[in-house]
Each structure stands twice: as C-alpha cells, then as structure tokens.
Structure 1
Amino acid sequence: MSRITSVDDDHGTNAGRLPSTRTAASDASAVPDGRSTRWDEHRAARRAELVRAARKAVHRLGPDISMDEIATQLGTSKSIVYRYFTDKVGLQNAVGEAVVNAIHDTLDAAYHQASTPRAALQEMVSAYLAMIAHSPSVYYFVTRNVPVATSVAPPPSGGETAQSAPLSSFLHSVVALLARPFAQEVGGDNYDDAQINAWASGAVGFVTATGEWWLSNRDAPGTPDREAFATQITAWLWAGPIGLLARDAAGRRQT
C-alpha cells in the first residue's frame, strides 16, 4: 500500500545547490538547446525531490511546521524553496498533489481487488483510513485549512500556469471511484447517473468526516479499530441507497 509520507532518503548538504543557468545565444531557426531541455528536466526533478523531503519533514515535525523549519529540514534556504513553490500555499498544494495521487491510486487498487461491490466500498474506506492514519500530520498539512485546501496557488517562478487546489481534484476523482460499486450494485435500472453521482458525493463527505473523527479519537476507549470502523462506515453508507432500492422494488411488486 502506498503511504502518503513515502519519500526517498534525505539528500546531502548540496540539496539547495542549483546548476548554472548560463546558456548560449539562441537561434530562432535552430532546434531547442539541449542544455535548456536538461535544465527543465533538472528543475522538475528537483521540485519533486523537494516535495518528497517536505512531506518527510511535515511527518516528523507536524502540520504547523514553518517554512524556515522546512528549509532547514531540506538542507537548503527558504529562498530556494520559494523559487520552486512561490509561497507556503504553493508548497502545500504540491505536497497535496502527491498525497492525492497516492490516495487515488490506492483506492483504485482496492476497488479492483474486491470481489463484490460492497466489498469494494469497504476496501476503499479501509484503505483511506489506513493512509490518513499513517501520517495525520501530512494529511492535516494539506487539508486542515480550507483557504489552503481550496485555493489556486500562483505558478512558481518561471511557471506558466497556476496550480489548482489538489483537494478539489481529489474530491472529484474519489466521487468517481466511490460511484463505481454503487452503480455496479444498482445496475442503473432505477438510478440514473445524477443520482449515483449525488450519492457518491455525499459518501465522500461522509467518509472524510467520519474518518477525521476516527483519526482524532482512535486512541479513546470504545473507538473501534480501523477494520471494524471501515465495516461500520460501509454499513451506514450501504444501508441507505441499497435499502431504498429494495423498498422501491417491494413497492413495485405490490402494485
């Protein structure tokens, strides 16, 4: 299972060192300078490296970590971090994108490993709980502040496009994932796409809210463990729409 704090080992003291930006004079009719291409590739790789290291720093020091602390943990200067992410919102969005991708891939894998639609829902809920429990600090770093979680970050220096909020894209993608077992169960005979997507949207909100409650209370007496709570959440979610479907079917048989 992917983990939301999965990062490579720390790099050495040259972490903040960047290559020279000197380039030869360009010729408008010539092919792109190979050195420019290598610089772009280096910049993308360096940015990904900083994201991985930032996730590890947040995991160790908590979601309220400052940019100064992040830069220190990364072995570089704050100005270098700003060069790649513009500001803290940009860094949170970059970390959030990595977290979102990891969660999405894990939920998708859980769906395909399940034997029934209900089992698919339960596997996805359980996988989600496992991932946020692995590092609450990273989870809260990218989701706890609504202005950050739903903002659009300005592009990094030299970038051309703004970064959309990863939490928003996460919610949309997970709605599609959760809709699949429900659509598979009801077969589309009595529920159209709008109803299926509406249920899935509500399910995402329910899972995230109850998951955060569990995250805050998992060590309290009486709080169920992850698997038991995933089973409970699935029962709460499944009883609603599937129960309504059964009621509708019974009503049609009586008429």
Structure 2
Amino acid sequence: MTVKRRPTPARADGRATRWAGQRERRRKEFVDAALAAITEHGPDVSTQQIADKAGVPRTRLYRHFSGKADLASAIAERVIEQVVVELDPVWNPRGTPMEMIELAVRTHVTWMAEHEAIYQYVINVSGAAGVSAYHDVKVAVSGHIAALFREYLQVAGGDTTAAEPAAYGLVGFVDAATNRWLENPTEQTREELIRKLVDWAWLLISDTAAKGGLKLDPDQRLPTTEELRARRTER
C-alpha cells in the first residue's frame, strides 16, 4: 500500500506566503490602475473603466477584491498613505515657524488641488469607509499638532488646555477653506489662498503661544523644547 506524503508545514507555509505576497502585489497594481482611472474619468469612474485601465476583465479584478466596497476601501487606504507622506512637515517640524506653516499649508492645498478627483472619489464614492479614513487623517494631524502645542506650552509654563482646540480648529479651518476654494477656484488663485491661510494660521498659532507665555519669532528657527528648558533654567 502506497501512502501519499503530505507536504511539510514549512513548504505549505512557504507556498501560502508566496501566494499572499503575490495577491498583495496584484491588489496594489489594481489600486494603481484605479487611481489612474479616477484621474482620467473623474470620481464617478466605473469598475469597468478601472478594469480597462488595469488591462484585465472586470471579473478578474474581483478575484482580488470582495466587491466594490473592498476596492474603494483599498483606494482610500492608499490615498491616506499618500497624504501622510505629503504631510511630512507636520510630522517632522523643522525651520522657522513661518517656514513650517507655509510648507504644511502649501502641501495640503497643493495635494487637494492636484488630486481633486481622487479626493472626491474617496469622500463620495467609497461612502462611510472613505469618510472615516479621511477623518482619521485629520484627527491624526490635529492630534500631532496638539501634542506639539501642549509640549511647548508646558515648557513655557502656560495653559496647555488651549492646545487641543487650537490644533483641531486650525486643521479644520484650513481643510474647510481649501474645500470651499475647490468649489469656486475662480475668485482667487491657489497662491493667493495659500498666502492667506498661512497668515491666518500664524495669527492663531502665535496668539495661542503668546497667551501661554511663549513668544515666537516667525523668522527665527523654532527652538526645541530642550533648548527652551535650558533657557528657562539659565534665567
């Protein structure tokens, strides 16, 4: 009697890992195709147009996604990754306060303007999942700015309770103003909008800092919290 040998767990796991990696690679390729299709056809792009851009039948597309909602969710996740990368100035502050503000505002407005169709797709087509994903990014950015505010205000001996409302208000304001401009961009140029948003953001930030006992110079390098602590110790 001949007994068939079962594959060893290691070999089985190896095949499973390779298959999972290949499936993930194909999903990324399809998401790339979807982003290109959205850019070309707008936020109302059809699944067939996405499949055409990927060069595969629509049925093959759904071998890698459980349905339209799954595809939309994957697209939303990719967009969020892009936004997080683009907002590096927020995660890694450096330079003068004015340079940091301008870089962050310019990055946000530019991304929104140059990827409007993709943004609208995430918000409108992907439904609650897309809205939640974009909301999560705004919360993450706001939370990070609030943490920076709180850290600096604490070192200055000021009222740290202003940190969170100031940060969330700032992010919400810039985002809402940019969205409104996208609806009617003829009233002012992108550069004019950026300039105004930078000025208004500086007013909020400098006022919040000043009331917390921290005077900021817009054109001088922002000192680290360690440097601020050292200065207070020397006094």
Provide the residue aligned with 1:138 in structure 2: 118
Structure 1 residues 207-226: aligned runs within 5 Å: 207-218=174-185, 220=186, 222-226=187-191
Structure 1 contact 118–181 (Cα < 8 Å) conserved: no
Structure 1 residues 101-250: aligned runs within 5 Å: 101-109=81-89, 112=92, 114-144=94-124, 147-150=128-131, 165-179=132-146, 182-183=149-150, 186=153, 188=155, 189-192=157-160, 195-218=162-185, 220=186, 222-226=187-191, 228-246=192-210
Provide the residue aligned with 1:31 in structure 2: 10
Q: Which amino acid aligns with 1:233?
A: L
Provide the residue aligned with 2:232 in structure 1: none
Q: CA deviation at 1:76?
A: 1.6
Structure 2 contact 87–108 (Cα < 8 Å) conserved: yes
- Structure with max Cα Rg: 2
Q: CA deviation at 1:81?
A: 2.4
Structure 2 contact 158–211 (Cα < 8 Å) conserved: no
Q: Helix, strand or coil for the counterpart of 1:236? A: helix
CA offsets per residue over residues 160-203 of structure 1, 9 Å max, x none?
A: xxxxx4223312322244336645764653232x5323322222
Q: Which amino acid aligns with 2:190?
A: D
Structure 1 contact 68–78 (Cα < 8 Å) conserved: yes
Q: State the distance in 1 between where 2:151 and 2:97 align.
A: 6
Cα 1:111–1:224 shift into 2, 3 Å? farther
Q: State the distance in 2 between where 1:179 and 1:113 align.
A: 13
Q: Quick one: percent identity of the two aligned structures?
A: 25
Structure 1 residues 66-105: aligned runs within 5 Å: 66-105=46-85
Cα 1:49–1:187 shift into 2, 3 Å? same
Q: CA deviation at 1:133?
A: 1.4
Q: Helix, strand or coil for the counterpart of 1:76? A: coil
Cα 1:118–1:178 shift into 2, 3 Å? farther
Provide the residue aligned with 1:155 in structure 2: none
Residue-pair matches, total = 208
Provide the residue aligned with 1:160 in structure 2: none
Structure 1 contact 175–204 (Cα < 8 Å) conserved: yes
TM-score (norm 1): 0.69
Structure 1 window deviating more from structure 2 (132-141 vs 76-85): it is 76-85
Q: Which runs of 4+ in 1 moved over 3 A?
A: 24-27, 109-114, 176-188, 244-249
Q: Which amino acid aligns with 1:71?
A: A
**CA RMSD between the two structures:** 2.9
Provide the residue aligned with 1:161 in structure 2: none
Q: State the distance in 2 between where 1:184 and 1:122 align.
A: 21
Q: Which amino acid aligns with 2:210?
A: A
Q: CA deviation at 1:87?
A: 2.4
Structure 1 residues 7-86: aligned runs within 5 Å: 27=7, 30-33=9-12, 34-86=14-66
Structure 1 contact 175–200 (Cα < 8 Å) conserved: yes
Structure 2 contact 166–204 (Cα < 8 Å) conserved: no
Q: CA deviation at 1:64?
A: 0.6
Provide the residue aligned with 2:219 in structure 1: none
Structure 2 contact 159–212 (Cα < 8 Å) conserved: no
CA offsets per residue over residues 40-89 of structure 1, 9 Å max, x none?
A: 11001001111111000000000011112222222222232233232222
Q: When you count helix as a share of all residues, which structure comes out higher?
A: 2
Q: CA deviation at 1:122?
A: 1.9
Gaps of 5+ in 2: 214-235
CA offsets per residue over residues 183-224 of structure 1, 9 Å max, x none?
A: 5764653232x5323322222221211111122222x1x413
Cα 1:118–1:217 shift into 2, 3 Å? same
Q: CA deviation at 1:113?
A: 7.0
